[in-house]
Structure 1
Amino acid sequence: MLQFAGKSKKFKPTPPQVLTFGFIIIIFVGTILLASGPANTGDPMSYVDALFMATSAACVTGLTTINVGIDLTHFGQVVLLLLVQIGGLGFTTMASLIAIVLRRRISFRERLILQEAMNQSTLEGIVPLIKKVIYYSLVIEGCGALLFSARFLAEMPVGQALYFGLFHSVSIFNNAGFDLFGMFPDRASSLIHYVEDPLINIVSMLLIILGGLGFIVISDLITYRINRKLTLHSKVVLTASAVLIVVGTIVILIFEYTNPNTMGPLDFLHKLSSAMLQSVSSRSAGVSTLDTGSLRQATQFMIVLLMFVGAAPGSTGGGIKVTTLAVLVGAIYTMARGRQDVVMFRNRLDQDRIHKAITLTLLSFFLIVIATMVLSATESAPFLSILFEVTSAFATTGMSAGLSGHLTTFGKLFIVLLMFVGRLGPVTLAFALTSTPEKEKFRHPEGRITIG
């Protein structure tokens, strides 16, 4: 079609804008459904609470202002679970699945959007990766559902056990952390009732770790037997994740070992398993076998640090990502040694990666600081509880020190914004809100300032 001079150009959203608008539409639809009568056991929840829950589910956070097991009907719970699944895999992945089933060709522009959604640096192999994402997710969630259901059969009817198994497998693998155990009046929320159950603990940790490693790493691990090779990305993710799990477990075990409200009554093995699950879950999942509100302040602050780091890129988790932390540590080590290049596993990192890691970390840090200051002025709660809730929302972890249910309307809407920004990422959102940058036509002269 011919375009005449003076005519306005047709608006073509950039990939970051497509992702942003897509999540907004999903959250809007989820809000309408969750606020409807069929989704609630009693009076329909307010639109503010429905928006909070829809955002928490679509952004795979897990924070909640209601009791999911009591206040939502089966229809409402299924809506919540579908939002978790779409949010965990990404709506672009789900749209690609439909296109693949209908045998429709995925265009170059759609591949660019998928590249942005999966946080990939190139378009190479993006469609095969999407197919692997869908396949691996269904297989892992299916195995988790079967194992959970087998355990729940000992205390529930067959239908309920299967339903609980599927719900919690999808919720935990996608690092959302919603649970239905609040429907039992004699039990606490999350997995506290199963603190001494080895099957629930092990399966939960495996689901969280697999969901948090990212599909690129899972694919690398599966094909390792054939090619005997891991990418640099997989090596960094696996190493950084292992270090964080071990360090987190040791610190939490030390601080909570004698706490009578958490680990005190447990034997050593159960203390160790609960500390490990808490360490694994703190980086994005949000489930726990310990009462988060009863943890000592030192432990809560350690969890804040773990939440801030989060999971791996291309995973269902949030945070600044373990690779970002690894790059920052590598840059500090390089500068301390007086060297120029950041080297990991005999590979030199591009300066662009280092600049992006620093930018992302500082943007995230400043956002959390500002949000904590704002909510400290509007909410009646201790500073650490507010910092905990803010970091949990931004990192899409879903762990709560008990503040979510007592937030003001402004506080709820502010947490909704944090969850949304945290799921998209501050850098992606910044690109979505700005026009396409023009290439610089000149460079300024180099200047020097004193650092340190």
Structure 2
Amino acid sequence: MRNWDPRLTLRHYHQVRHAGRFNASPPMVLAGGFLFLSLMGALLLWMPFSTHHQIEPITALFSAVSAVTLTGLSTVDITSTYTPVGQAILISLVQIGGLGFVTFSIVAALALGKRISLQHQALAQEAFNQTNVATVKQTAYAIIKITLMLELLGIALFTLWWSGSTDFLTALGRGIFHTISAFNNAGVSIEGTHLVGHVDNPAVILLTTALIILGGIGFSVLNDIRQKKAWKTLAPYSKIVLIGSAVMNLIGFVMIWLLEYDNPLTLGPLDAGGQALAAWLQNVTTRTAGFNSVDIASLEDSTTLLMMLYMFIGGGSLSLASGIKIGTFIVLMAAAYSYIFQRPQVVLLKRAVSADTVQKSLALLLVTATLIFSATLIMTMIEDAPFISILFEVVSAVSTTGLSRDLTPTLSWPSQFLVIVLMFIGRLGPLTLIYSLSIQHRGRVRYPETNFQIG
């Protein structure tokens, strides 16, 4: 082994200090930022002023990572465990995790009149899923504007609604917490039963699902709509996401209603209007939002399977939702269609999809599916729980959805740690994968082709 030379370490330290930054890839910087935020959040949540009673460090870490990654899973009841200060810390972690520290840092740098370095530009491109550096500033400002506008509107409406049944300050606090959680697709709730008490309340359910959908479509789509304001002029990607979201929401809504309408433990006791609202919420919330108005553990297995598929797909790119993303799913469907019917190109809305995009989509699908399989296998060896509950928990964590079949509070500490890792990977893993696939290593060596039998 080569001997360690302290002079080299000292020289490297001075180089880093002089340059003012580390030579790390954008995904590593993003992962480090979110890890630091999670650890700081866990430390604050562990403090006596954040809890009504002492909690274990892993409980605080679980809550912090769940908030930062916009998952919403919790091993404890938020209302009875965390004080108002702790709840404020939680929702702040959700807001920062949703907008991303990159957005804040870029806007702050621009506000001070500073130039964005090449490393910062690359980091922003990765965070915003942009290929053009010129659009990074515009996208950063658009994210801030859109988020503030929609959240302020949601807070005002929820506060107005809840002020009819409670005092103004309580209604305002609930409005702020619920709006930020819903728009960021976090599913964190200060009501232990989430939205069970509002299962047939049109105002609460429809406003919540509207915020979830807007947060899950993607900022690039929202910004495209804000700028162009006409269907014909929208970018092909925006049209694909909007069409895909509408179709998935319609199919999911109808399927959940049909599968659960006679289930006495879920939709059965409700009238037609209540059933429609409950089915609509559970359909929309599977797009990584995590709210529930019925008992998830009491759903039919067929409904549970459908919800896992929807959690796996997730929302749009550059959104507050996770999963493999709608665009990825549609590209894979289009690629399969083109191969089956022997089309020369993969085409969507009269636009050809590049082979590189198809390969990235396939890689993301395979990596995510392998992660889910591996984590499920490990958890089945640790936990004595029904297989479908374990699989649901894993898919929910990887997709950062936050729904659970009442398994999260009963998890042993090794499984809690595994879920923490899954939530973190689910939020940042696909980003790292796409970045690694985006770096083209063009070698000079070319190998002869051969045929491999598949299928």
Distance 1:138 1:106 in 2: 23
What letter is aligned with 1:23?
F
Q: 1:226 to 1:247 in 2, by over 3 A?
A: closer
What letter is aligned with 1:49?
T
- 2:371 corresponds, among 354, 367, 377, to 367
CA contact (8 A) 1:421 1:429 kept: no
Q: With the length of structure 1 as denominator, give the TM-score of the two structures.
A: 0.93
CA contact (8 A) 2:360 2:434 kept: no
DSSP 3-state at the match of 2:233:
coil
- 1:204 corresponds, among 205, 208, 232, to 208
Structure 1 gaps of 5+ residues are: 183-188
DSSP 3-state at the match of 2:229:
helix
Structure 1 position 284, deviation (Å): 0.8
Match of 1:421 in 2: 425
Matched, 1:152 2:152: no
| Percent identity over paired residues | 37
DSSP 3-state at the match of 1:348:
strand
Matched, 1:181 2:179: no
Distance 2:277 2:83 in 1: 33
CA contact (8 A) 2:126 2:435 kept: no
What letter is aligned with 1:392?
S
Match of 1:41 in 2: 52
Question: 5 Å matches for 1:223-234?
Answer: 223-225=227-229, 228-234=232-238
What letter is aligned with 1:68?
I
Match of 1:338 in 2: 342
Distance 1:343 1:35 in 2: 52
Distance 1:36 1:254 in 2: 47
DSSP 3-state at the match of 1:126:
helix
Match of 2:393 in 1: 389
Q: With the length of structure 2 as denominator, give the TM-score of the two structures.
A: 0.93
Question: 5 Å matches for 1:258-337?
Answer: 258-337=262-341
What letter is aligned with 1:120?
Q
CA contact (8 A) 1:308 1:320 kept: yes
CA contact (8 A) 2:27 2:431 kept: no
DSSP 3-state at the match of 2:277:
helix
DSSP 3-state at the match of 2:181:
helix
DSSP 3-state at the match of 2:134:
coil
DSSP 3-state at the match of 1:425:
helix
- Total equivalences in the alignment: 438
DSSP 3-state at the match of 1:181:
coil
Deviates more, 1:311-320 or 1:90-99: 90-99
Q: 1:254 to 1:162 in 2, by over 3 A?
A: same
- 2:447 corresponds, among 430, 433, 444, to 444
CA contact (8 A) 1:111 1:127 kept: no
CA contact (8 A) 1:192 1:290 kept: yes
Cα deviation, 1:306-326, whole Å, max 9, x if unaligned, reads: 000001100001000000000
Match of 1:127 in 2: 137
Match of 2:406 in 1: 402
Question: 5 Å matches for 1:228-243?
Answer: 228-243=232-247
Distance 1:431 1:237 in 2: 22
Distance 1:400 1:100 in 2: 41
Cα deviation, 1:207-239, whole Å, max 9, x if unaligned, reads: 000000011111111223379511111011111
- 1:106 corresponds, among 101, 107, 116, to 116
Deviates more, 1:284-293 or 1:407-416: 284-293
CA contact (8 A) 2:128 2:139 kept: no
RMSD: 1.8
What letter is aligned with 1:36?
M
- 2:382 corresponds, among 374, 378, 385, to 378
- 1:65 corresponds, among 75, 93, 99, to 75
Match of 2:39 in 1: 28
Distance 2:385 2:181 in 1: 29
Distance 1:56 1:285 in 2: 12
Cα deviation, 1:168-190, whole Å, max 9, x if unaligned, reads: 000110000111112xxxxxx11
What letter is aligned with 2:397?
A
Distance 1:290 1:27 in 2: 30
CA contact (8 A) 1:360 1:427 kept: no
What letter is aligned with 1:22?
G
Matched, 1:191 2:195: yes
Structure 1 position 36, deviation (Å): 0.9
Structure 1 position 82, deviation (Å): 1.0
Matched, 1:358 2:368: no
Structure 1 position 422, deviation (Å): 0.3
Question: 5 Å matches for 1:251-262?
Answer: 251-262=255-266
